[in-house]
Structure 1
Amino acid sequence: MEFGTVEGVKMVPGTLHIVDLEGTMNVKHQQVGKSDIVLVPQPSNDPNDPLNWSKFRKEYHFWLLWIWGFIAAVSVNWVGPVWTQFTVDLKTTYFQLSIASALCFLFLGLGCVFLQPIAMKIGRRPVYLAGSVLNLVGCVLGSVQTTVQMLWGTNILTGFGAAPVDSLVQITTTDIFFAHEKGTRLSLYIFTIYAGSYLGPVAAGHIADSQSWRWCYNYLIIFFSTLLVIQFFTMEESTFRRPPTSSEISGDTAMMSRNAEKQLEDPKINAAVSSGESGHTSEASLPPAPKTYWQRMGLYNTTRSDPRPLWLVAANPFMLITYPAVIWAGFIYGVQMMWLSLLNVTQSELFSAPPYNFSVSNVGNINFSSFIGGALGMIWGGYVSDWCILFLSRRNRGILEPEFRLWTMLVPAVINTYGLGVLDGVMWLLPAGFGMVFIAFGIGSSGAIAIMRWTAIRASPRKV
């Protein structure tokens, strides 16, 4: 493998020339006023390229995924406040319920392993639809369950169906947004995962108190049924295999030639896109026609999918463990998921018992603290992180180095270390208030920064 070069110097993967300080780079820039921000990756001239979608199409696609991710996160994390009721109605124990929770997270992970390669081969859209179906079936089973074994089955289905929340949506986000936009978007999305995990228990506590816990599943059935219809008729496919230009292969967008600029701007030249060749055109051809509505709503898409065999696509993520940055990002994200699961599975047992003696609805209400912390973490890991990399890139001759985002990791690294204190029986405001705010801030900001660090390495152009 050869690393890319910027101004003749070999650079590590993830290094990009993202700011055109002198305004001399022959590349496409952000089209907002007179911007010095370079579009990375450079969009093709294909109207079906997600990077060329209108602002409305991009926003609709993103926010539809945001809502879907929120509901999916609710479906796997809402049960914390009702565990005490589960022990009575399902005639089980907290240990058996812990197994149910473990099965849910296990199949969340297995779903990432199995569904991600399928999404790369046949498109993102069918995997999202399948996720909605699995969650719908799981919630139907949950609404009629009478034993803990049925709860295990429910958690297996909803966990597997919600797996794209933790892996595929992040890839879809990078399909439609540029490098300088990813921090804000990924942070918004990480926030929705945790917002669903925090607000779901709040709603569940009140629903269980007023209508019974079975109605928590019934509401999810209504939501997923509605979402499935909306997804079927409006969710587009974002898979697009974009052949890189010669400058992107070398890692040097600053040295893009005049011919490359002509290829990007002239609608009559698309040979590089259609042939898969990089850096030169073999023949001029008109760009493809925009897809019709029904073509965009197809159940699968293989024309722009990964051309490698499925087994190789499935094995590729495991090969990435040779990258220290990937190991680090996985570890950080895994730790945050550990904190999230800890809050979910212990809140009912700890806060329903002395000295707190909270009701089911009040156990759910403590998750408002986590929501506040998650919102603050979203701002830090997204808006502040994006501002930071542009600020540091301008000081670095316009060159973005992937390590720049790590400066914003310092604050959550400190704040995330403050624990709950609930085991010491301290005043409830400390563990259920400040403690959960601190943990949620670290979860929201650290998770987003870790994922962005990984995607910077993943998306970096390299010559193999």
Structure 2
Amino acid sequence: MSDTARASTSSRAASTTNEANNKSPTATDLEKGEAPQSKPGPSKEAAAKSDADPNLVTWADNDAENPLNWSRARKIMLLCVVTSCAFCVTNTSSIISNAYQGIQDEFHVSREVAILGLSLFVIGLGIGPMLLGPLSEFYGRRPVYLVSYTAFTLLGLPVSFANNLAVFLIFRFLTGFCGSAFLSVAGGSVSDIFAASDIFVPMAIYTNGPFLGPVFGPLLSGFINQNTNWRWTFWTINIWSTVMLVILVLFGPESYAPALLATRAKKLRKETGNTELYAEHERVVAQKSLPRTILTSSTRPFQLLAREAMLTLLCLWSALLLGILYLFFVAFPIVFEKHGFNLQEIGLSFLGIGIGMMIAVATMPLWARHYTRLVETKGNGVAEPEFRLPVAMVGAILLPIGMFWFAFTTYPSIHWIVPILGTVVFGVGISYIFTAVFTYTTHAYRPVAASAMAANSFSRSSFAAAFPLFAKQMYVGMTIQGASAFLAGLNVLMIPVPFVFYKYGKQIRARSQFTLT
């Protein structure tokens, strides 16, 4: 290699390294091995060329079209859009919780069969990411959002107008499947637009959106079913999702840098007549098979669950927590009916969890600063995945405290506000744990981050689908206090998890072929 060529290659490598250090790669990007695009030149024209390959289309320095260089207002706009869509989707999962009696009367079925409308939706949320995640690698974020959310909106109509149970349940599953794009792809959009140094708080906001949604679902459905027909539960979602679809079309731009560069390359080929111009993403996609990619994304999560004990334990922990959250959608009516609550008031009882989650989000800037201090002092500038876990340590202690508080204050003789205050503590704890588990998983399992998160999503959805089905029998058979204390006890057993991984996580990762070492 000549000195000139060597210098050119080195220059491009340095540029690529600089970009990689500032961009927070998404799970799917890391797993498929696609490097962030470099920024080789200072001008817009330079964006069409690379020092090493003059036909390679890359970003120019400070390129306004690079999502990392978008204005703060535009970044916040996209963050709000994807978080709001995720909130709407997950709200749709639990909004059914106060409509069970109407469904039972309409279709002449038992309470457990009516609860299948919740369970099948959540199963769809768990399966969907295995297909929709890879599609975003090929076509970008925006096409996946538009197609999946349009399907989510349209398939919600048969749910609202179903004249038999089979139609109702089938389309509940399909709407969950289509809506899952905002649980699997939207995190990538946040990573697209915020640099690693700035992403902690935006990601915490997005992460809590999908968990606040289920909490506020019963609140909304309580007011609906107290005052009108149960079908208005789903007509409300139809209206809401239609409004969100319009907002998504108008204010949800493409943010996936490789897809944007592919669009730029196509435009430049047309404008210049130079058919040799190309973007790296075009060649990556041409060399990959979509069916094979989907097959890999569908099987690897289960391989990881079978072979990675650390990941399995993290998935089990987060699955247990989401299972308990969804179990509460059946348990709270049992608990607060003894306080004389009607449907509206039962829905309002979930505000405690929601307030707790919002308190957790409000404290995230403090945790972000703590993380930075750990990197600087304990890591000597190296960001170890374990530095994400202190927030989970606090959450692991707060959560069972909140649950025991709730368990032993649910007696009718105790004012109803006391157990709800316990759920505030529960809400803070569950939010802390989810935030830490997600960031730790994607950091520790960076080479296979998409599959690791898909394994977590499938595990969570499985528990969330199953727990409501036995909640009533559990709370009747074990009593309200006994069942709640039992669930709190299970979470006491999980307290050591973040502490053990904080101390020994690096050694455990060193023995794995899938983790970052």
Query: Structure 1 length normalisation: TM-score?
Result: 0.72
Verify: 1:98 aligned to 2:84, yes or no: no
CA shift at 1:453, angstroms?
A: 1.1
From the superposition, tell whether residues 444 and 43 of structure 1 become closer, same or farther in structure 2 (CA, over 3 Å). Answer: farther
Q: Counterpart of 1:49?
A: 66
Q: Counterpart of 1:367?
A: 350
From the superposition, tell whether residues 186 and 304 of structure 1 become closer, same or farther in structure 2 (CA, over 3 Å). Answer: farther
CA distance in 2, matches of 1:184, 1:44: 26
Q: Does the 8 A contact of 1:43 with 1:51 survive in 2?
A: no
Secondary structure in structure 2 of the residue aligned to 1:415: helix
Q: Does the 8 A contact of 2:133 with 2:184 survive in 1?
A: yes
> Counterpart of 2:444 in structure 1: which amino acid?
I
CA distance in 2, matches of 1:118, 1:225: 23
CA distance in 2, matches of 1:291, 1:74: 40
Q: Counterpart of 1:156?
A: 173
Q: Counterpart of 2:239?
A: 222
CA distance in 2, matches of 1:189, 1:310: 28
From the superposition, tell whether residues 302 and 94 of structure 1 become closer, same or farther in structure 2 (CA, over 3 Å). Answer: farther
CA distance in 1, matches of 2:181, 2:17: 34
> Counterpart of 1:389 in structure 2: which amino acid?
Y
Secondary structure in structure 1 of the residue aligned to 2:257: coil
> Counterpart of 1:343 in structure 2: which amino acid?
F
Q: How high is the sequence identity, in percent, across the aligned residues? A: 20
CA shift at 1:406, angstroms?
A: 0.8
User: What does 1:174-323 align with in structure 2 at a 5 Å threshold?
Assistant: 174-241=191-258, 303=282, 308-314=288-294, 315-316=296-297, 317-318=300-301, 320-321=304-305, 322=307
CA distance in 1, matches of 2:107, 2:334: 16
CA distance in 2, matches of 1:85, 1:136: 22
CA distance in 1, matches of 2:447, 2:67: 18
User: What does 1:379-418 align with in structure 2 at a 5 Å threshold?
Assistant: 379-380=362-363, 382-396=364-378, 397-417=380-400, 418=402
Secondary structure in structure 1 of the residue aligned to 2:109: coil
From the superposition, tell whether residues 158 and 345 of structure 1 become closer, same or farther in structure 2 (CA, over 3 Å). Answer: farther
Q: Which of 1 and 2 has higher RCO (CA within 8 Å, sep 6+)?
A: 1
From the superposition, tell whether residues 423 and 161 of structure 1 become closer, same or farther in structure 2 (CA, over 3 Å). Answer: farther
Secondary structure in structure 1 of the residue aligned to 2:99: helix
From the superposition, tell whether residues 86 and 236 of structure 1 become closer, same or farther in structure 2 (CA, over 3 Å). Answer: same
Q: Counterpart of 2:360?
A: 377
Verify: 1:456 aligned to 2:429, yes or no: no
CA distance in 2, matches of 1:350, 1:304: 58
CA shift at 1:351, angstroms?
A: 3.2
CA distance in 2, matches of 1:431, 1:95: 30
Per-residue CA shift, 1:219-245, capped at 9, x if unaligned? 221222122223234322222349xxx
Per-residue CA shift, 1:189-228, capped at 9, x if unaligned? 1221122212222122112222333222222212221222
From the superposition, tell whether residues 219 and 324 of structure 1 become closer, same or farther in structure 2 (CA, over 3 Å). Answer: same
CA shift at 1:65, angstroms?
A: 0.5
Within the candidate set 425, 428, 432, 1:445 is matched to: 432
From the superposition, tell whether residues 94 and 302 of structure 1 become closer, same or farther in structure 2 (CA, over 3 Å). Answer: farther
CA shift at 1:335, angstroms?
A: 2.4
From the superposition, tell whether residues 130 and 334 of structure 1 become closer, same or farther in structure 2 (CA, over 3 Å). Answer: farther
Unpaired segments ≥5 residues, structure 2: 1-15, 26-35, 40-58, 269-279, 449-514
CA shift at 1:303, angstroms?
A: 3.6
CA distance in 2, matches of 1:154, 1:459: 35
Q: Counterpart of 1:337?
A: 322
Secondary structure in structure 2 of the residue aligned to 1:399: coil
CA distance in 1, matches of 2:266, 2:288: 26
CA distance in 1, matches of 2:161, 2:227: 18
Per-residue CA shift, 1:8-59, capped at 9, x if unaligned? xxxxxxxxxxxxxxxxxx9869xxxxxxx96656873213432232323222
> Counterpart of 1:366 in structure 2: which amino acid?
S
Q: Counterpart of 1:78?
A: 95
CA distance in 2, matches of 1:185, 1:305: 29
CA distance in 2, matches of 1:165, 1:172: 10
What root-mean-square deviation, in Å, do the aligned CA atoms of Structure 1 and Structure 2 show?
Answer: 3.6
Per-residue CA shift, 1:252-307, capped at 9, x if unaligned? xxxxxxxxxxxxxxxxxxxxx99xxxxxxxxxxxxx68979xxxxxxxx9748755
Secondary structure in structure 2 of the residue aligned to 1:79: helix
Q: Does the 8 A contact of 1:366 with 1:432 survive in 2?
A: no
CA shift at 1:81, angstroms?
A: 2.4
CA distance in 2, matches of 1:304, 1:212: 54
From the superposition, tell whether residues 122 and 323 of structure 1 become closer, same or farther in structure 2 (CA, over 3 Å). Answer: farther
Per-residue CA shift, 1:111-166, capped at 9, x if unaligned? 11222122222222222123322322343122223443333123212211221233
From the superposition, tell whether residues 344 and 91 of structure 1 become closer, same or farther in structure 2 (CA, over 3 Å). Answer: same
Secondary structure in structure 2 of the residue aligned to 1:400: coil
From the superposition, tell whether residues 62 and 107 of structure 1 become closer, same or farther in structure 2 (CA, over 3 Å). Answer: same
> Counterpart of 2:359 in structure 1: which amino acid?
L
Query: Structure 2 length normalisation: TM-score?
Result: 0.65
Q: Does the 8 A contact of 1:82 with 1:204 survive in 2?
A: yes
CA shift at 1:367, angstroms?
A: 1.1
Q: Counterpart of 2:333?
A: 348
Q: Does the 8 A contact of 1:187 with 1:379 survive in 2?
A: no
CA distance in 2, matches of 1:199, 1:67: 13
From the superposition, tell whether residues 359 and 370 of structure 1 become closer, same or farther in structure 2 (CA, over 3 Å). Answer: same
From the superposition, tell whether residues 90 and 61 of structure 1 become closer, same or farther in structure 2 (CA, over 3 Å). Answer: same
CA distance in 1, matches of 2:109, 2:167: 12
Q: Counterpart of 1:280?
A: none
CA shift at 1:390, angstroms?
A: 0.5
From the superposition, tell whether residues 194 and 40 of structure 1 become closer, same or farther in structure 2 (CA, over 3 Å). Answer: closer
CA shift at 1:373, angstroms?
A: 1.0
Unpaired segments ≥5 residues, structure 1: 1-25, 30-36, 243-272, 275-287, 293-300
From the superposition, tell whether residues 410 and 67 of structure 1 become closer, same or farther in structure 2 (CA, over 3 Å). Answer: same
Q: Does the 8 A contact of 1:75 with 1:135 survive in 2?
A: no
